[in-house]
Amino acid sequence: MPTPRVLILRAPGTNCDVETAYAFEQAGGQAQRVHINRVLEQPGILSDYQILCVPGGFSYGDDIAAGRILANQIRHHLADCLGQFRADGKLILGICNGFQVLIKAGVLLDAIPDRPSENPTPPATLTWNDSGKFEDRWVHLKVEGDKSVFLSGIRRMYLPVAHAEGKFVARDAQQLTTLEQASQLVLRYCDKDAQEKGDQQNNEVPYPLNPNGSQKNVAGVCDTTGRVLGLMPHPERHIDPTQHPHWTRGAGGPSGDGLTIFLNAVAYFR
């Protein structure tokens, strides 16, 4: 099959699109950065791509809420096209602000509504960090199960986070249980030995291991098919081993931990 084509969707305020495109290219994909206005003008261009990625940044300055404006554009104008994109067995990835967008657009955990006027209560959201501040640090992560295409074969990762609204909160306790039982809570914060600590009843690790206070230590979630993934950490910022904060001390491996996510996406279409 020809090299998989990746659409990196950018908007005013997006600031990780170049790095994300580079990561996909390093993995063997053909990435193109496309402005949201172009997609709104020509929604059919989505059919030319196999992978859609909404990268990190501050789309529209997060003026209303993180990712809300871009999410509304997607929900109200691109629902049909994204629904077809997903139905065709293609892949969708949302990183940090992109995760926020996918959640609020109803692409990740909701079925995309048939009518733009529909606005169902989402099963979960991403809200302000418990610390009340922007968190910029490296975190240890572990993968739960094998549901996500992007996380195939990965068990542990060390990646940076950089966000103020990254706390994953479910609509209610029943919804959180439903998502966990469906194996959709695929990425969790943990300690460096990947052993969760803290209160065994609520299964939460303490700050700063869990940098935002997410329920169940959730750092990433997939849809029911495993082909749509949203995560708060930035895999595109740990592609090369020299991006590891302690690489001069011999830490890290032959490649950055984030690279495998992009390799998996490209390999899925080969």
Left (φ > 0), alpha (ψ -120 to 50) or beta: where does 214 sit?
beta
Catalytic residue among 140, 163, 236, 238: 236
The Cβ-side half-sphere exposure at 185, using a 13 Å CA radius, reads 19
Q: Is the distance from CB of 80 to CB of 111 less than 8 angstroms?
A: no
**Strand (E) or helix (H) holding 43:** none
Report helix, strand or coil for 109.
coil
Known catalytic residue at 165 = no
Catalytic residue among 96, 196, 204, 244: 96
DSSP conformation letters of 184-223: ---EEEE-TTS---S-TTTT-PPTTTSSS--GGGEEEEE-
Report helix, strand or coil for 24.
helix
Known catalytic residue at 77 = no
Cα 69 from chain centroid? 17
**Strand (E) or helix (H) holding 59:** none
Known catalytic residue at 234 = yes
Catalytic residue among 140, 163, 234, 244: 234
Q: Is the distance from CB of 183 to CB of 226 less than 8 angstroms?
A: no
Task: Report the b/e string of 232-242 with b at 16+ CB within 10 A.
Answer: bbbbbbbbbee
> Which positions are annotated as active-site residues?
96, 234, 236
